[in-house]
Structure 1
């Protein structure tokens, strides 16, 4: 069967080729009844626009870059899936790269030049970039930052409220009657802003309950991996005052690693130690016990980031950069309340 052409759609809908092009390209100034006729003809004929030709005409590549620290951290792979699905709605292909949090790699991927010229826009979750790095960026292609905001950044930013989320997680443990609550995942160094905000929320929850923070129960980790959580939990179990009553872990991998150590040491979750994670990755929903966690709306994060790039491209948007907040919620499961 021959591939349907723009002309075929126009003839079926009884409109001009230009009108079909306007509908397919999403231009607003088309009468609703005309738009419906064209969309019906597109569906009936199975017409597929030539995205490559369209992008070349616009001087674009039709590709967006998504740059994350670590693809093998499930939060980022699940986020990547959401970004790909959202970008597809706009006719974009997503190319993914990882930086391992290395400053030179992050700078390389935002600075323009031959590699960056392949992309119409970049969505970046940085660990090491500074305000000075961003100020040196060349090129006019849109950049959207994910995660923690770099002070006075000249670029759009999408995040969740990490302080409020950590407060909610810790408050949940207090509500269960646990008062000796540990925190696993603090990162008291320059690239650890996300962790530091979660520590702030943990501290704020203690202050709200009038419970002093035991500094020895805040355990720093270099990364947010399973092994880091397992090792941190082992250190807490060897604490001179005995194990904590509950643990708030700064991501789900830390929490799953912590649970493994608890179980191998003969402790029960949540009867002996309740555990909360962060990110709501798929593995946590199928763990034994299932994992109570903070669930950031990854779909909304992807939608906000992609929409911001397409607006700056299609509308030539030159408004000042904006900070956009995606919602989050506490999902209560077996690791804190049992079966």
Structure 2
């Protein structure tokens, strides 16, 4: 970041007025999406950051936001955090990032606003948050929720239509003549919303093509990582009747499945088509490159940050905000 970068420099780079830059950074006033993108690009290119101490004295707010996700070692959450970081910076905010480990206690503390007093608001992607405890306790900071599980809490929630996305991925396999379609990602633990929503889409697609569900083709997994994906595919390849396709509920699971397929001499996609979910960067470089569902991470970040900033400004209304997705077709399925 260069010293001395202020609103004037950002306005000149973006080709807009200083008032427009101020409005975009603070999330106030009226401006077009094209203008927001120009200002965001100028902010990122110039490395503009407002003076946090001065802002706090002037407005009572620090401009510091907190993003809490289960695990930053998971590529999806790491990439999403990058998008949220850029979106926060476009609004002149500083972003802190925490990993909760999916621990209910840690998620509850964050949901209740028991964080750094400098933090103005929180974006939380919970796995095991206790809604009852979170709803009955006092909350001191604006909160936006992320993820597949819909919560009975009076806060904005940002997600994608996971069921529709899973259905589309499964329909692609069915339309290409696959009928023994396995899924890797089914979980039986409480609050396994990713599993539930994506399994629902898979089942809907099977029903549309009159293909019966076989639970043997949906082995439970303990985690959404490469090791679990590899172990699940090895179990599937030990069945008397082999699958001809597999839909993985995360790209990390698909990476593990591709490894196990190579290990056993199974050709992808000739013998086994593989589709993942998340479109992390590594999906482009697997062997073969992975067909996968791509949530619009940029839109997820934009909706989360702008909704949080609205809450900080006093307009915190519960709403379900749905970002887009697309099926990225590569060579694996």
- Which TM bucket (shorter chain)? 0.7 to 0.9
Equivalent residue for 2:197? 197
Q: CA deviation at 1:2?
A: 9.7
- Whether 1:132 and 2:132 are equivalent positions in the alignment is yes
Distance 1:275 1:48, change over 3 A: closer
1:309 Cα offset (Å): 0.9
Query: In the alignment, which of 318, 322, 329 is matched to residue 319 of structure 2?
Result: 322
Structure 1 residues 49, 152: CA separation in 2 closer, same or farther (over 3 Å shift)?
closer
Give the CA deviation at 1:5.
8.5
Q: How do residues 255-270 of structure 1 correspond to structure 2 at under 5 angstroms?
A: 255-270=254-269
The aligned counterpart of 1:87 is 88
Which residue number in structure 2 is paired with residue 63 of structure 1?
64
Shift of 1:52: 3.1
TM superposition shift of 1:75: 0.3
Task: Summarize deviations over 1:176-211 as a string: whole Å, max 9, x none.
Answer: 110000000011221211111111111110001011
Q: 1:89 to 1:4 in 2, by over 3 A?
A: closer
| Secondary structure, counterpart of 1:222 in structure 2 | coil
The answer for the alignment partner of 2:117 in structure 1 is: 117
Mapping for residues 123-162 of structure 1, pairs under 5 Å? 123-162=123-162
Q: Distance in 2 between matches of 1:146 and 1:2?
A: 35
Secondary structure of the equivalent of 1:334?
coil
Q: CA deviation at 1:236?
A: 0.3
Q: Give, in whole Å, the separation in 1 of the partners of 2:177 and 2:57.
A: 62
Instruction: Give the superposition deviation at 1:124.
Output: 0.5
CA distance in 2, matches of 1:2, 1:125: 35
**Are the equivalent residues in 2 in contact too, given 1:63–1:92 (CA < 8 A)?**
yes
d(CA) in 2 for partners of 1:304 and 1:323? 10
For residues 3 and 84 of structure 2, the distance between their equivalents in structure 1, rounded to whole angstroms, comes to 33
Q: In structure 1, list runs of 5 or more residues that go unmatched.
A: 14-19, 30-45
Report if aligned partners of 2:50, 2:92 keep a CA contact under 8 Å in 1.
no
**Structure 2: runs of 5 or more not aligned:** 31-46
Which residue is equivalent to 1:170? Answer: 170
Aligned twin of 1:16: none
Larger Rg: 1
Partner of 1:234: 234
Q: Give 2:39's aligned residue.
A: none
Number of residue pairs matched by the alignment? 306
CA RMSD, Structure 1 to Structure 2 (Å): 2.5
Contact 2:49 2:93 in 1 (8 A): no
Q: Given that residues 224 and 253 in structure 2 are in contact (C-alpha distance below 8 angstroms), is that contact kept between their aligned partners in structure 1? A: yes
The Cα shift of 1:62 comes to 1.7
Alignment of 1:217-228 (within 5 A): 217-228=217-228
> For residues 215 and 204 of structure 2, what CA distance do their matches in structure 1 show?
14
- Identify the residue that residue 243 of structure 2 maps to in structure 1: 244
1:331 to 323, 328, 332: 328
1:304 aligns with 2:303: yes
Alpha-carbon distance in structure 2 between the residues aligned to 1:4 and 1:66: 26
- Give the Cα separation in 2 of the matches to 1:306 and 1:265: 45
Contact 1:110 1:116 in 2 (8 A): no
Mapped partners of 2:4, 2:154: distance in 1: 45
My pick for the range that moved more, 135-144 or 153-162, is 135-144
* Partner in structure 2 of residue 40 of structure 1: none
- Name the counterpart of 2:280: 281
